């Protein structure tokens, strides 16, 4: 018997609501999950990949066939990465089949805390955006010196 559940059939807001009633101190997390589901449910174009290169280095790759560099825009504001595309003009053609979409889009991705967006490049129809996790010094692991009784000995004269 197969007990797997497809994510598309799960009522995520209802699930989050039930979990939040059985948890204490996770309000911020549940609010964030609720907010993120509203972004991801409505955005399927253009298709994208998120590639992990190391524990702190990622790229976001969007398939932007038919767009030029100057028709694409990448912005970061308040922890949200927004990628927009607006084709200025398409040449008039008589299509037998039109499979390459040329519609305008705006795609928003929520950035985790300490994610910094770097360069964006456009090659072979892919918009590639660099993302890195940059921890502030106070959050990086550090070694704490242990002071023993030898360090407390003071010469008394």
d(CA 118, CA 66): 24
Residue 94 CA from chain centroid, whole number: 38
Q: Indicate the number of domains in the chain.
A: 2
For residue 113, the domain's CATH number is 2.60.40.790
The answer to whether residues 2 and 29 belong to one domain is yes
In this structure, are 126 and 50 located in the same domain? yes
Q: Which string of DSSP letters, residue by residue, matches 86-116? A: --S-------S---S----EEEEEEPPTTEE
User: 102 with 61, same domain?
Assistant: yes
pLDDT, residue 27, reads 57
Q: From CA 140, how far away is CA 101, in angstroms rounded?
A: 45
Q: 27-41 vs 12-21: helix axis angle to the nearest 10? A: 180
- pLDDT of 95-135, one tens digit each? 888 888 778 899 988 888 889 999 999 999 999 999 998 88
Q: How far apart are CA 36 and CA 26, in angstroms?
A: 15
Across the range 58-86, mean pLDDT stands at 93
Residues 97 and 27 in one domain: no
pTM: 0.63
Q: Are residues 66 and 121 both part of a single domain?
A: yes
Is 74 found in the same domain as 37? no
119 shares its domain with 48: yes
Does 149 map to a domain? no
Domain assignment present for 29: yes
- Full residue range of the structural domain in which residue 104 is found: 44-136
Question: In this structure, are 30 and 99 located in the same domain?
Answer: no
Do 2 and 38 fall within a single domain?
Answer: yes
Residue 5 has pLDDT above 50, yes or no: no
Closest listed residue to residue 39, CA positions, set 85, 74, 4, 79: 79
Is 98 inside any structural domain? yes
> What is the structure's pLDDT at 23?
56
């Amino acid at each position: 018997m197969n007990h797997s559940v497809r994510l598309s059939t799960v009522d995520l807001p209802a699930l989050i609501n039930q979990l939040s009633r059985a948890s204490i101190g996770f309000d911020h997390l549940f609010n964030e999950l609720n907010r993120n589901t509203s972004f991801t449910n409505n955005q399927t174009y253009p298709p994208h990949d998120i590639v992990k290169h190391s524990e702190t280095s990622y790229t976001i790759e969007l398939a932007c066939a038919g767009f030029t560099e100057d028709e694409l825009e990448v912005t970061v504001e308040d922890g949200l990465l927004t990628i927009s595309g607006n084709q200025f003009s398409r040449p008039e053609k008589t299509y037998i089949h039109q499979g390459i979409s040329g519609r305008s889009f705006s795609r928003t991705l929520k950035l985790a805390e300490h994610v910094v967006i770097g360069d964006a490049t456009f090659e072979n129809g892919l918009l590639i955006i660099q993302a890195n996790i940059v921890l502030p010094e106070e959050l990086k692991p550090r070694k704490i010196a242990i002071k023993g009784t030898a360090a407390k000995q003071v010469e008394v004269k």
